């Protein structure tokens, strides 16, 4: 399914697809007729949409970021894209290829990274592993936090969206090392992407630590969060599930790992954190020089 931004390059006409909905508001036109104004949204942008038919909008209520399948007509008003909706149907399931696209841009402080996240998932070619990653991100309570919270309070990537940036940096550090078999390589990619996934339970988007973050070991939270998805992976690829569990808990200070790629995954975490701290230090030095 094309994203909303791509519609701006198409001739106005019929439109059908699945999008997020937000900012539902009942308004009155100049002629006194009422209509419902909402925004369609995906990872690329949001577009105003209108429901003019009373029989549709009077029975319409969906909370912000609900999923819906829509049909309508696109048009331009004052050179801006608009959509007149003729049909709207709430849905609960996302198609596998649309999971990242349907993360709303408005929930991600660094929305330019969402297309990078989508490209990262597309690099996974092992069906069982790709299904695992998609299933994790299909859970809105995980995905929305994953793209919005910070990676740490003061150590590295300590800003809204920092966890997503850090996770993608780790993914690409591992991704640049291709001297591994396909299975180890892709398991390394996914474990680097989700190595700090427990932060969705321990950090908030407004830069606070939750009570869980100070009372429960992070490894335990990781496996509590990913447990249902690892169990499904176990049924379709038991060896992969075993190795992924190992990679997610491996720490570089321990002895020689059972899987060689474990050290690389752990190193990617340290390198990404180190690069970010170096950048912060350089920024401080630049700021200091400017005020002298």
* Whether residue 67 is found in the same domain as residue 210: no
* Whether residue 198 is found in the same domain as residue 66: no
**Spatial separation of the C-alpha atoms in residues 280 and 194, rounded to whole Å:** 24
* Whether residue 256 is found in the same domain as residue 111: yes
Q: What is the pLDDT of residues 77-131, one digit of tens each?
A: 888 899 999 999 999 889 889 999 999 999 999 999 999 999 999 999 999 999 9
Average pLDDT taken over every residue of the chain: 89
Task: Give, for 34, the enclosing helix (H) or strand (E).
Answer: strand 34-41
Q: What is the pLDDT of residues 248-277, one digit of tens each?
A: 998 766 677 889 999 999 999 999 999 898
In a domain, 96, yes or no: no
* Whether residue 13 is found in the same domain as residue 125: no
The total of structural domains in the chain comes to 2
Q: What is the pLDDT of residues 29-55, one digit of tens each?
A: 888 888 999 999 999 999 999 998 887
Nearest residue to 102 via CA among 41, 38, 61, 46: 41
In a domain, 118, yes or no: yes
* Whether residue 72 is found in the same domain as residue 115: no
Strands 46-51 and 80-90: parallel
In a domain, 282, yes or no: no
In a domain, 291, yes or no: no
Torsion of CA 251, 256, 260, 264, to 10 degrees: 40
Please give the DSSP secondary-structure letter assigned to residue 215: T
Task: Give, for 262, the enclosing helix (H) or strand (E).
Answer: helix 261-291
Angle, nearest 10°, between helix axes 238-249 and 127-138? 60
For 110-148, the DSSP string reads SGGGHHHHHHHHHT---HHHHHHHHHHHHSHHHHHHHTT
What is the residue range of 115's domain?
107-276
* Whether residue 116 is found in the same domain as residue 153: yes
pLDDT of residue 79: 86
**Spatial separation of the C-alpha atoms in residues 14 and 190, rounded to whole Å:** 38
């Amino acid at each position: 399914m094309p994203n909303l931004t791509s519609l701006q390059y198409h001739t106005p006409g019929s439109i059908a697809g699945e999008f997020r909905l937000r900012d539902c508001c009942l308004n009155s036109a100049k002629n006194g007729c009422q209509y419902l104004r909402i925004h369609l949204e995906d990872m690329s942008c949001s577009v105003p949409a209108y429901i003019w038919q009373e029989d549709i909008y009077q029975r319409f209520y969906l909370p912000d970021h609900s999923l819906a399948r829509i049909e309508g007509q696109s048009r331009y008003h004052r050179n801006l894209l608009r959509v007149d909706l003729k049909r709207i149907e709430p849905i609960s399931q996302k198609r596998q290829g649309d999971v990242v696209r349907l993360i709303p841009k408005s929930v991600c402080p660094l929305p330019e990274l969402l297309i990078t996240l989508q490209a990262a998932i597309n690099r996974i070619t092992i069906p069982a592993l790709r299904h695992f990653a998609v299933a994790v991100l299909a859970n809105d309570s995980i995905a929305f936090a994953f793209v919005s919270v910070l990676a740490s309070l003061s150590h590295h990537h300590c800003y809204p969206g920092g966890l997503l940036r850090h996770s993608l940096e780790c993914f690409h550090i591992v991704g640049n090392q291709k001297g591994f078999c396909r299975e180890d390589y892709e398991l390394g990619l996914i474990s680097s992407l989700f190595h700090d996934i427990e932060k969705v339970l321990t950090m908030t988007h407004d830069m606070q630590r939750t009570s869980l973050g100070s009372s429960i070991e992070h490894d335990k939270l990781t496996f509590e969060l990913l447990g249902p998805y690892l169990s499904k992976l176990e049924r379709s690829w038991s060896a992969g599930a075993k190795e992924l569990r190992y990679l997610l808990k491996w720490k570089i200070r321990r002895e020689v790992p059972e899987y060689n790629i474990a050290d690389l995954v752990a190193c990617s975490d340290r390198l990404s954190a180190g690069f970010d701290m170096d950048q912060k230090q350089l920024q401080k030095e630049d700021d200091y020089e400017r005020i002298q």
